Amino acid sequence: MKNVLTLLLYFFCITAIFSQYDEFQIQKNGLIYNDKTMSKLEHIVDSLNLMYSSCELDKTYYAQNQTVAHKVNLKHADIGSVKKDMKNNMPLEEFLEKYPNAKLKKEVLVIRYKYTNYKGREVVQLREIDPQNDYGVEIKISKHDRDFQKTWRYETYEGSITAFYFENEFSSIPLPEKYANMIGYADCLIDSTTLKFKEDAKQGWVNFPDNWSTLPLIEQQILLDKMRSTKVIGSCSMDDSPRVHAMNIAMLSAETTDWKIFLRSHLDIMNDRFDRVSDGSYAMQKRHTYIKELEELNINISDLIFGISLRLENPSENHYYGRINRIGRAFAETENRNQIEQTMLSMIEDVGLDDYNRVLSYFLFLNYSYHLEEEFKADAKQKLQVAITKLPNYLQNRLKQD
């Protein structure tokens, strides 16, 4: 029976590959929402822009907790002895003398962050931020763990141990006002008190009627509530049902002038933020960002998107975070590319901005330039090379390594 289900799933995905040319129907206006829907959204945005002046704009936002540490990897050693030395806070120089086979990576950027796992438990992790490839070591620690200076944190795996040695404590500096305003604008537009799905949403699927736009308002609202109570999980890379479900929610929430639900749904489509059983890179190109739809509204796209790109220690509850790779692609499709490009470069160069957000701005620019048309790539690469000369030396050195 299991093999039959697997085979059916395989044929479903193969069928999707050959049928998925354009994700959503493009209207006469060149957008995925028709003129009537766009008109309703424009009216809402005009009201929100007036409300923006009353939003909380004087809040101080702090950068993600971060520090510069040294990373050590050691294999084929007496792990018990190594762990004992680390627990006793053996100085790094002494440790390297005792274990000459240890591989040292000096001065790596490490962040400390919290998240809630699938069991609803809070987890605290230390993560290396490698500007070369964005893949770094992660070490889980206790949420009560404090006092890092001159200490070790480690992770063991099959006879090897990977550890961070900290010269200094973690710190979190205030974000400069111009970036705080971006975050404030994003929080003002993306209502943090309302989520796309309801808390008790169950996995499933809701059939979306063809005549949805002609239904009475009360029936549309009931349908929207039903759709928000249903989470759709993709069965494979080419299964577009989660995106279709989000698109249906976006259209219905726009029709019922429910901006809070609309914007989160559209941003999920732009960021491709959906659950899938598996996801291959070959399937991602057909998933467009649809940033043009937001540009057609009277939204400050730059502040909104940068506001969900910056990482911070004290976000508002349910603050919306964008995915750097998708945002980079969206920026490559904007009408105001020159201003967006300059903002990214200035963030990389900004000594007042924390190192982590500067590295994220670097990744953002890399994804942006990757999706540019060929004729613009060389110029973007040259500008980026100039910008990274303003990064701290330890980050520049990391980028120069093969």
What is the C-alpha to C-alpha distance for residues 318 and 349, in angstroms, rounded to an integer? 29
Type of residue found at 359: V
The two tokens of residue 387 are 């910008």
Q: Read off the DSSP letter of residue 312.
A: B
What is the C-alpha to C-alpha distance for residues 147 and 123, in angstroms, rounded to an integer? 18
pLDDT of residue 172: 97
Closest CA to 287 of 251, 318, 333, 343: 333
The two tokens of residue 375 are 């004729």
pLDDT under 50: residue ranges of the chain? 1-12, 14-21, 402
**β-strands 202-203, 230-231 pairing:** parallel
Q: Are 299 and 355 in contact (CB under 8 A)?
A: no
Instruction: Give residue-wise pLDDT tens across range 3-59.
Output: 444 444 444 454 444 444 467 888 888 888 888 888 888 888 877 776 666 576 778
C-alpha 252: how far from its chain's center? 26
CA angle 331-351-174, nearest 5°? 90
Work out whether the CA dihedral 266, 304, 28, 375 comes out positive or negative.
negative
Q: Are 162 and 155 in contact (CB under 8 A)?
A: yes
Angle between helices 355-370 and 374-387 (to 10 degrees): 160
Q: Are 73 and 136 in contact (CB under 8 A)?
A: no
Is 72 in a helix, a strand, or coil?
Answer: strand
What is the C-alpha to C-alpha distance for residues 320 and 310, in angstroms, rounded to an integer? 10
pLDDT of residue 281: 60
pLDDT of residue 22: 61
Q: Read off the DSSP letter of residue 260.
A: H
CA distances (Å), origin 293, targets 9, 82, 270, 320, 323? 33, 56, 10, 19, 18
Instruction: Give residue-wise pLDDT tens across range 245-298.
Output: 999 999 999 889 898 999 999 999 999 988 877 665 655 667 788 899 999 988
The two tokens of residue 219 are 């029936």
Q: Are 45 and 301 in contact (CB under 8 A)?
A: no
**Strand stretches in 136-277, DSSP E:** 138-141, 151-157, 160-166, 202-203, 230-231
pLDDT of residue 11: 45
